[in-house]
Amino acid sequence: MDLVVGMETYFINSWPPLLGKVVRPEGFKVRELVDGGTDVSSWKGGEDGKLAVYLLWKEGRDHFSVVRELASVLRAKPSYMGIKDADAVTLQLLTVPNMPNLPQVVEGRGFVARLVGRTNVRPSHYGNRFNITLDIEDTGELHRRANEISALRILPAFIGYQRFGTRRPVTHVIGKLISQRDWCGALSFLVSRPFLGEGPQGRAFREAVQRGELEKALELIPSYFKQERVVLSRYTKTSNCLEALKASLVPPAFFVEAYQSYLFNRYLSRVIHKSKRDTSLRLSTNFNECDEDCREIYLEEGIEKDSFRVKELKVSLRPIVRRAFMEVRDLEVIGNVLMFSLERGMYASVVLREILRGDPRLYT
């Protein structure tokens, strides 16, 4: 799976796989750090301000579906500082424009949002604190590896598995097909192509789509497959793949950005061992602005002039600018619990990958 998402190397090459898995969702806890390192559970706003701030707790729910439910209740789309894991227990701040009669609490399946104050200045995202419980036998080796990483303080700033899909790692594949204007190919990966890691309901739905039994597929589709239901319903009405993609609840740019993230991972894999600690990498959207490593990847991938500007779906991407390394802060292990902090935009799954190796489905 590492190669599928562009991670082609490790930083420490001498470690064999360490058998262990994350106890999901309750064993993967993440909470935002804001305004220089304040835990979001301690953040309090005032009584007045242009923005109302909610503290969102969720467990086992994907980010976008919860945001849609909150938008319906709050009558405004919430702004957020990061997309948190679905199969986890997460705590983060959301903001909406301040208005009269906002509810103090909004509850739904697997989430609770509480109004914690108002402000004129949106809290700034400093990073995230992780508390991860591992089902692992060799805790001694876990401690040894954690100590070695703690001494190094850095790891490659790969973009983590969840950006691509942990059970169906196809988000970037959909993005690549969109960048190639292969609308029907993108739609196919979005609604069909079952994976073994999915539940039986999801597989049955996707298998029906593959057989061309679209009406039956709409009957079989799980209630939580809202994205797939919307685009497939539009396709059954229009028989037009592009129109179906336009109906996507997830912005099409999200998929193309995932493809761009895959390209960044491939690029970082090539340059990481010749990069300095403070190196900042730039992956251009323009082939002519690429260095030799970038050009080789773009030629292999068939990147063209307009690959990252898809007017039909209002996609226009900027170059990725990202540091080669991320700082792993306050790393400690107590028994089988791993704790550390990362800057915003960095992924805990990359830390787990470096420590555990093996099958990423066990820790994502």
Residues designated catalytic: 85
CA 247 to chain centre: 21
Residue 182 DSSP SS3? coil
Q: Which of 158, 177, 154, 170 is nearest to 8 (CA)?
A: 158
Torsion-angle region of 6 (φ positive above 0: left; ψ -120 to 50: alpha; else: beta): left
Residue 232, token pair as written in the block: 């497939």
User: DSSP 3-state assignment of 5?
Assistant: coil
Cα distance between residue 328 and residue 150, in whole Å: 7
Q: At what angle do helices 63-74 and 226-238 cross, to 10 degrees?
A: 80
DSSP for 132-144, written as a single string? EEEEES-HHHHHH
Reported as type and span, the H/E element at residue 252 is helix 252-271
Q: Which helix (H) or strand (E) holds 119?
A: strand 111-119
For residue 147, how far is the Cα from the chain centroid?
A: 27
Residue with tokens 């559970």: 41
Spatial contact of 161 and 169, defined as CB atoms under 8 Å apart: yes
SS3 content of the chain, % helix, strand, coil (to 5): 40, 25, 40
Q: Which of 262, 246, 249, 356 has its CA nearest to residue 301?
A: 262
| Identity of the amino acid at 173 | V
State the number of CA atoms in the 13 A half-sphere of 245 facing the CB. 29
